[in-house]
Chain A
Amino acid sequence: NAGVTQTPKFRVLKTGQSMTLLCAQDMNHEYMYWYRQDPGMGLRLIHYSVGEGTTAKGEVPDGYNVSRLKKQNFLLGLESAAPSQTSVYFCATRILSRTEAFFGQGTRLTVV
């Protein structure tokens, strides 16, 4: 039982490159969230999903896209990376009937 697994753990991108971050969960949770964490800014919600095939915008969605084609996976895409997207990205999941969210270990992304 791995819980919430984020891939990759570290990545360096050049400005303009694209990439996809993968969040995989084995807990059968309905809700999945993508956050970015920046110094002094806390955890800001990028996009989230309340179930397979559904996604919604969070607080800072611009420059990101997401997909939830399978219940266990939530993908975060950067089509054209910018230095402002340098951050630590966290995925979280939650079951519908309970309140606790479970976080992955984070992905540290640097855009140069």
Chain B
Amino acid sequence: GENVEQHPSTLSVQEGDSAVIKCTYSDSASNYFPWYKQELGKGPQLIIDIRSNVGEKKDQRIAVTLNKTAKHFSLHITETQPEDSAVYFCAATGFMNRDDKIIFGKGTRLHILP
């Protein structure tokens, strides 16, 4: 089955700097890679995603890159702000496969330092 590794587990960056979180996946059948943000006391919410036929996707200050050959994908947050402090999860799934479980990484706790 699918296995998703996520690094680092904790990340502290100065406000205004960039943050990068990296994930690897194991199942070649996975074709959809979402990123979720979880604020304290809440359920995770989707912030950006990428499909396997795309190498990079951007949405304002956040971007995701995918290297399908190496089975790596990364989340990039630029010009970090205090409200970016949260736990971030990467995930992998086989979208539109009958058995498309969503498997998550272990999460990265991001601290934005003033």
Contacts and interface: CB of A to CB of B under 8 A. Distances in A.
B32 A99 contact: yes
B interface, over-half SS = loop
B101 to A, nearest CB: 6
Interface residues of B, number: 26
B30 to A, nearest CB: 12
B98 to A, nearest CB: 7
A56 interface: yes
B49 A99 contact: yes
A101 B105 contact: no
Interface stretch (B40-48, B60-68, B70-78): B40-48
B25 interface: no
A interface, over-half SS = strand
Interface of B: 1, 6, 9, 32, 34, 36, 41-46, 49, 51, 89, 95, 98-107
Interface residues of A, number: 25
Contacts, number: 60
Contact of B43 (A42, A48, A56, A90): A90
A74 interface: no
Nearest to A91: B43
A103 B32 contact: no
Contacts of B104: 35, 42-45
12 contacts: A33-B102, A42-B6, A48-B101, A59-B1, A92-B43, A92-B102, A99-B34, A101-B36, A103-B45, A104-B43, A105-B42, A105-B43
